[in-house]
Structure 1
Amino acid sequence: MRIALLEDQLEQARNIENLLRERDHQCNSFQTGQSFLSAVTHRSYDLLILDWQIPDMTGIDVLKHVRAQLNWPIPVVFLTQRDSEQDIVQALDAGADDYLAKPARPAELMARINALVRRSNPEVDREALEYGPFRIDTKARTIHLHNEPLTLTDKDFDLTLFLFQNKGRLLTREMLLERVWGVTRDINTRTVDTHMSRLRRRLGIKPENGYRIKTIYQRGYRLESMDELGAETENAVDDESLS
């Protein structure tokens, strides 16, 4: 699991990073709200941990920016010295999913993090996933459309799985490169565009099969369910014409 931590006290940040890495999680820490927001907007994280009192803005301000900028409900935990009932209510009302007072007990912190991730993505540990006519077997690494097997490369499978597990979420090219290709730089982002165009054709991801891959200009892609989009998109044109 990838976690972004906002904590301006270096020693505390190191302690939390070490705790998370001992549990096989990846953690990036940031000391300012601006650096934190820049990272979570352009990179892919599974959970955010926020301190309240930071140099350039409050943790509440950061949370509000996160909820406004990200189009999916990423789990957010407040970890702060402020522990009054009013503070807790304010954070939860602003969109936090959980709230812990410092110093957090390591076992409790990890239990809360794991519970939040399970609730936010209940499909993450399942072997068989079904999305309309698409059936994905994560153990056999196969995908069927209308019960017919599709011929895909390993990278095509990884990209498809990541898209469906994050349907409705804007995925930047940088996020896709990081999570599917395992790189953060030194690779042309056209690699993503080429694979996405090919994936549309190989998978038959189009409105008549219940999904479309929407190109978000200069940002990335979003897998959209036609049922969830509602009546206003019934006549939408598949973005294959734009690729």
Structure 2
Amino acid sequence: MSAHILLIEDDLNLLELAKYNLEQERFRVTCETDGEEGLISAKENPPDLILLDWMLPNLSGIEICRRLRRENATKNIPIIMLTARTEETDRIRGLETGADDYITKPFSPRELIARINAILRRIRPALTGATLEYAGIVMDTASHKVTRNGTMLHLGPTEYRMLKHFMENPGRVFSREQLLDSVWGNDIYVESRTVDVHIRRLRKALNINDMPNIIRTVRSAGYALDKDS
């Protein structure tokens, strides 16, 4: 599954243009036009990267960035600030608040995509390659083949998508509801307990030849792919 981008921007024309170009590059995009709603979205469904406008209704981009950096669950999410402010002092302020990059408006879609990919390659290289690797598990996303310590694994389609999502986000805990949205999609109704069934199937496939369990259950929170589980 491709990287999830949260776009917080109140200029509707720019928002639609950016969303279109991001989706053409196969990013999953969530859009918010209000500062407070954007902050809530970032906390409830942490994305892989945030595109954050400086001037927003109800809560500024600078304040959103400051609050996200204070919380463990969101402090490491890459943030690119989008703003019409061109003064050096403004750029420095944005970076000192915790932004990873800074793009002044107007900007070209090609520049935006290049900046995003540069950060993802640095922060989360697994999201930009055709092969995902974690703790002896190797997933070739082109051929859909998965091995663990050299042994071929046989996964059903849902277990494959679930493992891919975990490998794109190693160590991160996902609730059943988040896994339902990411693996099954928002438009399909599935009972949350169905996640438990597929977790058991995935564990069985991964634990071939008595290999150690690598999917951690976090009580009252969800599941994570964790080599130290």
In the superposition, the TM-score normalised over structure 1's length comes to 0.78
| Conserved? CA contact 1:44–1:178, under 8 Å | no
What SS does the corresponding residue of 2:226 show, helix, strand or coil?
strand
Give the Cα separation in 1 of the matches to 2:205 and 2:48: 28
Aligned partner of 1:120 in structure 2 is 123
Give the Cα separation in 2 of the matches to 1:42 and 1:6: 15
Deviations 1:184-215 (A, max 9, x none): 5632211222212332233129xx74x63333
2:20 pairs with 18, 32, 40, which one? 18
Alpha-carbon spacing, 1:10–1:127, altered in 2? closer, same or farther (3 Å): closer
Percent identity of paired positions between Structure 1 and Structure 2: 33
Aligned partner of 2:137 in structure 1 is 134
Give the Cα separation in 2 of the matches to 1:220 and 1:33: 28
| Conserved? CA contact 2:42–2:74, under 8 Å | no
2:37 pairs with 32, 35, 38, which one? 35
1:7 aligns with 2:9: yes
Aligned partner of 2:151 in structure 1 is 148
The 5 A counterparts of 1:45-124 are: 45-67=47-69, 68-70=71-73, 73-124=76-127
| Conserved? CA contact 1:158–1:180, under 8 Å | yes
Alpha-carbon spacing, 1:215–1:8, altered in 2? closer, same or farther (3 Å): same
Q: CA RMSD in A?
A: 2.8
1:174 aligns with 2:174: no
Give the Cα separation in 1 of the matches to 2:30 and 2:160: 27
| Conserved? CA contact 1:174–1:184, under 8 Å | no
Give the Cα separation in 1 of the matches to 2:194 and 2:216: 17
Q: Which amino acid aligns with 1:40?
A: A
Number of equivalenced pairs: 225
| Conserved? CA contact 2:46–2:74, under 8 Å | no
**Gap regions ≥5 residues in structure 1:** 227-237, 239-243
Q: Which amino acid aligns with 1:8?
A: D
**Gap regions ≥5 residues in structure 2:** none
Give the Cα separation in 1 of the matches to 2:142 and 2:112: 30
Deviations 1:127-174 (A, max 9, x none): 444433333333332333333322321211221122122112222333
Q: Which amino acid aligns with 1:6?
A: I
In the superposition, the TM-score normalised over structure 2's length comes to 0.82
1:186 aligns with 2:204: no
Comparing 50-59 with 180-189, greater Cα deviation is found at 180-189
What SS does the corresponding residue of 2:59 show, helix, strand or coil?
coil
Give the Cα separation in 2 of the matches to 1:59 and 1:168: 28
Alpha-carbon spacing, 1:57–1:199, altered in 2? closer, same or farther (3 Å): same
Alpha-carbon spacing, 1:19–1:131, altered in 2? closer, same or farther (3 Å): closer
